[in-house]
Amino acid sequence: MNASVSNLNKNMVSKKNIPITIISGFLGSGKTTLLNHILTNQQGIKTAVLVNEFGEIGIDNELIIKTEEEMIELSNGCICCSINGELVEAIEKLINVNKKLDYIIIETTGLADPLPVAMTLLGSDLRDQTRLDSIITLIDAENFNDVALESSIGRSQVIYGDILLLNKCDLVTNKNIEETIDKLKEIKNDVRILKSIKGNIPLNLLLSVGLFETDLINQKESVHDHSHEHKHGHGHGHGHGHGHSEEDNRIEDFLSVSFQTKEPFSLRKFQYFLDNQLKSDVFRAKGILWFSESERRHVFHLAGKRISIEDSEWGEERNNQLVFIGKELDKTKILSQLNACIDK
């Protein structure tokens, strides 16, 4: 692989690595509710959720098909496991027992700094089998105050969160919500903030699921099954062809924008796009990348501001495919910026 491509992301991993999401947040912020939402609604992806205590989750008994001492198996393929002892050992055991595992979610305690958890994963042998997809921090919109931010753990949960999920928004006024967002932005610039009620939010905004085959979902399927993409191709002034969704795919208040071209990107231009043009309104982005500087196929993931790239051999026709999900996205501008990344 070309050295310049390596510089795009130093944490290059293999295509088979299992993505991990860490969920953090103070006690009472709604982590348990969110985890239950994930376990109940995750479909088509064999997901394992590691929790501190089974009893706190309150899984619907109708979903449970098998119960063991440290593991509960659900009818939709999800697994709920207890972190009994060392985290690394628990994950290694989980992977060894479940060979077809697609995704891992780790719950931290309310008084835990997520950074040591992330560093534990990156500093262990697990880095050869997994990749850290994102850190999601839940914020209690009703009880958020300066006291939480005065503690080092509270600030760390905000600073290291790739996406901040402002939960319980139904219990406060819009003015309170905006005040909380302003405080969070004082701590972390260009922050990605999602708002939710009872942790109910489309899963593909939080987790690396849907859109591309690395997550075992056919790329032609709709985002979260709400609508279908209709792609078309056409030429433009410089002889390069690109395609994008004829209709903007909407997930509640969120928009997805698709882009495709059969011409390679310039690595330098795409790096500039990521560093200087990609706005905080984009919460998730995924894609297949083809760079003129590299003979490898690159799978691109973005969660919040965390970027990772997996590389492999090309097994199909070379092209670039990208999907961006966010709020109030300027579709025309994004497509124009991506067209400018084509190596001309």
Report pTM: 0.67
Q: pLDDT, tens digit, for every residue of 81-114?
A: 766 567 888 888 888 888 788 888 888 877 778 8
Are 165 and 196 in contact, with CB atoms under 8 Å apart? yes
Q: For the chain, percent helix, then strand, then coil, each to nearest 5?
A: 30, 30, 40
pLDDT of residue 91: 87
Give CA–CA dist 71/81, Å, rounded: 4
pLDDT of residue 338: 97
pLDDT of residue 205: 82
For residue 98, count other CB atoms closer than 10 A to its CB: 18
Among the listed residues 210, 90, 96, 44, the one whose alpha carbon sits nearest the alpha carbon of residue 80 = 90
H/E element holding 152?
A: helix 152-159
Spell out where the chain has E strands: 18-25, 47-51, 64-67, 71-74, 79-82, 103-107, 130-140, 163-167, 193-195, 231-235, 241-245, 249-251, 254-261, 282-289, 297-303, 306-312, 320-326
Are 44 and 140 in contact, with CB atoms under 8 Å apart? no
pLDDT of residue 72: 63
Give CA–CA dist 129/157, Å, rounded: 25
- Could you tell me how many helices (H) and strands (E) the chain has, helices first? 9, 17
pLDDT of residue 97: 82
Report all structural domains of the chain as residue ranges with CATH numbers, in order of start: 18-208 (3.40.50.300), 254-341 (3.30.1220.10)
Give CA–CA dist 312/5, Å, rounded: 13
Backbone dihedral angles phi then psi of residue 197, each to the nearest 5 degrees: -125, 120
For residue 125, count other CB atoms closer than 10 A to its CB: 9
- Cβ burial, residue 85 (10 Å; 0-12/13-18/19+): exposed
pLDDT of residue 8: 43
H/E element holding 4?
A: helix 3-8
Name the 3-class secondary structure at 85.
coil
Give CA–CA dist 282/311, Å, rounded: 23
What pairing do the DSSP bridges indicate for beta strands 254-261 and 249-251?
antiparallel
pLDDT of residue 13: 34
Could you list the pLDDT tens digit for every one of the 344 residues in the chain? 444 444 444 333 334 688 899 999 877 788 888 888 887 787 778 888 887 654 545 555 554 444 455 566 666 666 677 665 678 888 888 888 887 888 888 888 777 788 888 888 888 888 888 888 889 999 999 888 777 777 788 888 999 888 899 999 999 999 999 999 999 998 888 788 999 998 898 887 888 644 333 333 233 333 333 333 333 333 333 333 444 433 345 544 678 888 999 999 999 999 999 989 988 888 888 888 999 999 999 988 887 778 888 888 898 789 999 988 887 889 999 999 999 999 98
pLDDT of residue 177: 93
Give CA–CA dist 5/168, Å, rounded: 42
- Tokens 């979903």 label which residue? 63
- Tokens 């899963």 label which residue? 203
What's the Rg (C-alpha) of the chain? 20
pLDDT of residue 268: 94
Contacts 24+ apart (CB under 8 A), 192-195: 192/162, 192/163, 192/164, 192/280, 192/282, 192/283, 192/304, 192/305, 193/163, 193/164, 193/165, 193/166, 194/163, 194/164, 194/165, 194/166, 194/283, 195/141, 195/165, 195/166, 195/169
